[in-house]
Amino acid sequence: MLNSRSLTVAAVVTGASAFAYEHWVKPWQERWGATDEEVALSLPGDGLVEEPAGQLTRAITIDATREEVWPWIVQLGADRGGFYTYDFAENLFGLGIHSAEGIVEQWQDLVVGDVVYADRARTGGWYVVELRPNEALALKVGDLAAGRPVRRDEKLKWEFLWTFALRATPSGGTRLLVRERVAFDSALTRMLMAPVGLVSFVMTRGMMLGIKSRVETHRAR
C-alpha cells in the first residue's frame, strides 16, 4: 500500500508531467517545423471549417520543386499510394495500407468531390474539398453514407479539415505545410478525442518525413 509520502510524490510527478506537456510538448508538436509566418498563414480550405475552431500547422523543407512533390500528395489514400508513414502501426488496426515507393500514373487523377479512403475496405475517409495542382489539397472527414463531409451540428458533433500546401522556397525547394482544423459542438466529443492529438502528431511527422525521403530519393535517381 502506498504511504502518504509516495502519494505526494506521485501527485507531484503527475502534475509536473501534465504541466510540461501543456506548456512545452503540446505547443512544440502542434507547430512542428513551422515558422511563425506559416502558422499564421491563410491556406486554401481554411474557411471550410468556420470559427470557433482549433488549428495546428506543421512544416518540412523538401529538396525538390513543387511539381516534383505534388504527385506524391495527390496519390494519398489507403487504396492508392498510402500515407507514407508507419504502415505497420496503421495495419495493427486492419487498415490494409501499403505506402508506395514510386509515383503511379493511375493514381494522379483526383478532383473535388472524390473520396480519399482511410482504409482499404473503404469504410471511412475524407472528401476532397479543395484542389489546386502543385499548390494545395484540402480534405474533410466524410459521412460516406450521406455522400458528403461531416458537420459539427450532427451525429458525433465534430468536423475536421486536413490540408496539404506546397510553397516554393527561394532556393528552389518546397515547404510542405500540413494543417489540421477541427471544431467540436460537444464537450464530450472534445474530451474523447483529446488523446488522439499526440498519436496524430507521431503519424503526421512520420508521413512528412516519408514524403520528403521518397521525393528526394526519387529525384536523386
Tens-digit pLDDT profile for the chain (221 aa)? 546 554 444 334 334 333 444 545 577 689 999 999 999 999 999 999 999 999 999 999 999 999 999 999 999 999 999 999 998 887 877 888 999 999 999 999 999 999 999 999 999 999 999 999 999 999 999 999 999 999 998 887 899 999 999 999 999 999 999 999 999 988 877 777 777 778 889 999 999 999 999 999 998 87
| Residue 184: burial class (beta carbons within 10 Å; 0-12, 13-18, 19+) | buried
Q: What is the pTM of this model?
A: 0.86
Cell numbers that stand for 3 in this block: 504511504
Q: Say whether both 94 and 179 belong to one domain.
A: yes
- Helix H or strand E encompassing 55: strand 54-62
Residues 126, 37 share a domain: yes
> What pLDDT, on the 0 to 100 scale, is given for residue 20?
40
Q: What pLDDT is attached to residue 93?
A: 77
* Inter-residue long-range contacts of 133-136, CB under 8 Å, 24+ positions, other chains counted: 133/70, 133/74, 134/66, 134/67, 134/70, 134/166, 135/44, 135/66, 135/165, 135/166, 136/43, 136/44, 136/45, 136/163, 136/164, 136/165, 136/166
Same domain, 136 and 67: yes
Q: Give one word for 147, left, alpha or beta, with left for phi > 0 and alpha for psi -120 to 50.
A: left
| pLDDT recorded at residue 196 | 75
Q: 16 and 108: one domain?
A: no
3-state secondary structure of 41: coil
CA–CA dist 72, 215 (Å, integer): 8
Closest CA to 128 of 203, 76, 79, 182: 76
Regarding whether 196 and 150 lie in a shared domain, the answer is yes
For residues 131 and 122, the answer to whether their CB atoms sit within 8 Å is no
Q: Based on the domain organization, do 24 and 90 belong to the same domain?
A: no
Judgement on whether residues 11 and 115 belong to the same structural domain of the protein:
no
Strand (E) or helix (H) holding 50: none
My answer on whether 14 and 109 are in the same domain is no
- Is residue 17 domain-shared with residue 41, that is, in the same domain? no
pLDDT at 157: 87
Which residue range forms the structural domain that includes residue 100?
33-220
User: How many domains, the chain?
Assistant: 2
Rounded distance between C-alpha atoms, residue 8 and residue 2, angstroms: 10
CATH label of the domain that carries residue 214: 3.30.530.20
User: Which residues touch 45 (CB under 8 Å, ≥6 apart)?
Assistant: 129, 130, 136, 138, 140, 161, 163
Nearest to 136 by CA among 79, 170, 179, 181: 179
